[in-house]
Amino acid sequence: MGWAAVSAGEEVRLKLVEAEEPEDNDYHLQEQVGFILRKAHQRHVAIFAAHIADLTPPQFAALAKLHDVGETSQNQLGTLIAMDAATVKGVIDRLKARGLVELSKHEVDKRRLLVNLTVEGREAVERLIPLARGITEETLAPLSAKEAATFMRLLAKLA
């Protein structure tokens, strides 16, 4: 308890208050959703790296989404994979440097920079997708199938 040192009369008052407001006086960082979310994310990234060493999760997300939707503008891709413009630029730059994507200018709208998979990029995604399924599985491994389904449903509500 957090009030062990108070007088007997004070204890009574605090107990009554706690009956209405079940909150503990202490703040427990490890019980806060943000803190655990950060740790769960860290764990996932570590699992990802153990299976796919030469690509980061954001890089793979970009490739997988391009594989899914085909050529799109850099900005639109960012929207699809939840990355802001500055971040997606860096990711695409690095994928381009490795020959996995290629860039071209939109014919009509000269503001847009189109991004597409190269043949190498397509081969890479298709080779990696089975591994990615394994990463999802391993990340969820601490949960039973039923728990995992519940977790995914609730997590999706939060995100």
Is residue 151 close enough to count as binding a second copy by CB under 8 A?
Answer: yes
Q: Which two tokens stand for residue 86?
A: 């500055």
Dihedral of CA atoms 81, 144, 38, 25 in degrees, nearest 10, equals 140
Coil, helix or strand at residue 116: strand
Instruction: By CB under 8 A, name the one of 57, 76, 98, 102 that touches a second copy.
Output: 57
Stretch that binds a second copy, among 1-9, 11-19, 71-79, 128-136 (CB under 8 A): 128-136
Supply the minimum distance, in Å, between the C-beta of residue 68 and a second copy.
7
One of 67, 75, 116, 138 touching DNA (CB under 7 A): 75
109-129 as b/e: b if 16+ CB within 10 A: eeebbbbebeeebbebbeebe
45 burial level (CB within 10 Å; 0-12, 13-18, 19+): middle
Judged by beta carbon, residue 102 or residue 138, the one nearer a second copy is 138
By CB under 7 A, how many residues form the interface with DNA? 31
Which among 69, 72, 85, 43 has a CA at the least distance from the CA of 125? 69
CA–CA separation, 96 and 90 (whole Å): 10
Interface with a second copy, residue 157, by CB under 8 A: yes
Residues in touch with a second copy (CB under 8 A): 23, 26-29, 31-45, 48, 57, 61, 64-65, 67-68, 81-82, 129, 132-133, 135-136, 139-140, 142-143, 147, 150-152, 154-159
Residues in touch with DNA (CB under 7 A): 38, 42, 45-46, 49, 56-59, 73-76, 82-87, 89-91, 94, 106, 108-114
